[in-house]
Structure 1
Amino acid sequence: MVDFDALHAIIAPEAEAMGLALVRVAFFGGDSDPTLQVMAERPDTRQLTIDDCADLSRRISDRLDALEEAGQDPIDVAYRLEVSSPGIDRPLTRPADFADWAGHEAKIALKEKLDGRQRFNGTLVGIDGDVVTISDKEGVEHKLPFGAIDTAKLVLTDKLIAATVPLSAEGADEMEEEGQD
């Protein structure tokens, strides 16, 4: 149904042309609401503005539309395109994410059980080569092969909120006041 390698090869250059790093490309929603989700960020701020989202969405849409017209569409069903930042409790998809967010709480699910477990919660210690280390609440460190990870994401904590200062809060008061009428 969806060729993820082809999608990544199409979308990554569009993000890179804007100076963005691609965080995740996913397709979900099944038959009822198929959605192509693209998460990207500015490498220097780890964030994305609304204008960045809109610009990247247009670039991706234009590129996919051109491929469809040429009979080379990598997605064979109608779908919705969703472009966003990874958010505060972001997915961890790249090896660098595990190094960058060391010291923060995370949830990791493996593709298959390792030593009788498939899910790990705790504090990210980091990554060494292709081995991610997470320390559980008892302080036990678990070494997980990066390639064995199915999903991983940060857990929303006060420490994480403090570490992810917004680019700008300009206009936030005005928006709140408008909504109070």
Structure 2
Amino acid sequence: MSTTQSERLRGLLEPLVSAKDLDLEEIEVSRAGRRRMLRIVVDSDEGVELDTCAELSRAVSDALDESDVMGDEEYVLEVTSPGAERPLSELRHYVRATGRLARFTLAEGGELVARILGADEDGLDLEVPGVKGRKATARRIAYADIAKARVEIEFNRKDKKEEEA
């Protein structure tokens, strides 16, 4: 049975990522000129600190040097977090985005911008902002009704600590 490079990379990297209490979100191998780029995206419920990315990068680099999974060609290694406008595709992503504003592209067509109030196995509880002075409305949406979803950046969003004070 033959395994792909992606499967071999995942098998090598998942234990290293899990050891740092992180989730392995994405592995991407692409061309960057003459070299290849290996981009590893990790996340956790608490987010990812720069020092943790650096520690993981060193561990991954050592493991890759000891294996032949990347072959003989040169490559650049990048360990990163998903970023501010991260796409949402799994339950854990929606749970982490609870309280955040998100833009949904609906499977039936159209878009919806709403705040995620809660997420469970079946779908999301949302708060759709009111328009022109109207009150916000609650809405339930099933995952099957979502084609794409992405967290929206809010520059005037109150921090949870500010709200508790």
The 3 A distance-change label for structure 1 pair 5 and 76 is: farther
1:27, 1:34 within 8 Å by CA — same for their partners in 2?
A: no
**For 1:114, which of 107, 117, 135 is the aligned residue?**
107
Q: Does 1:125 align with 2:126?
A: no
Q: Secondary structure at the match of 1:123?
A: strand
Q: Distance in 1 between matches of 2:152 and 2:92?
A: 17
Q: Does 1:82 align with 2:74?
A: no
Q: Secondary structure at the match of 2:88?
A: coil
Query: Which structure 1 segments of 5+ residues have no match?
Result: 166-181
1:102, 1:124 within 8 Å by CA — same for their partners in 2?
A: yes
RMSD, aligned α-carbons? 3.8
TM-score by length of 2: 0.64
Counterparts in 2 of 1:48-67, with a 5 A limit? 48=49, 50-67=50-67
AA aligned to 1:145 is: Y
Query: Which structure 2 segments of 5+ residues have no match?
Result: 131-136
1:3, 1:75 within 8 Å by CA — same for their partners in 2?
A: no
1:133, 1:143 within 8 Å by CA — same for their partners in 2?
A: yes
Partner residue of 2:134?
Answer: none
Identical columns (%):
22
Give the C-alpha shift of residue 129 in structure 1.
Answer: 0.9
**Number of residue pairs aligned between Structure 1 and Structure 2:** 152
1:23, 1:86 within 8 Å by CA — same for their partners in 2?
A: no
Partner residue of 1:47?
Answer: 48
> Per-residue displacement from partner, 1:42-96 (whole Å, max 9, x unpaired)?
54x3231x3221110011122222221xxxx167965422112334444435412
Q: Does 1:153 align with 2:127?
A: no
Counterparts in 2 of 1:99-110, with a 5 A limit? 99-109=95-105
Partner residue of 1:27?
Answer: 28
Give the C-alpha shift of residue 149 in structure 1.
Answer: 6.2
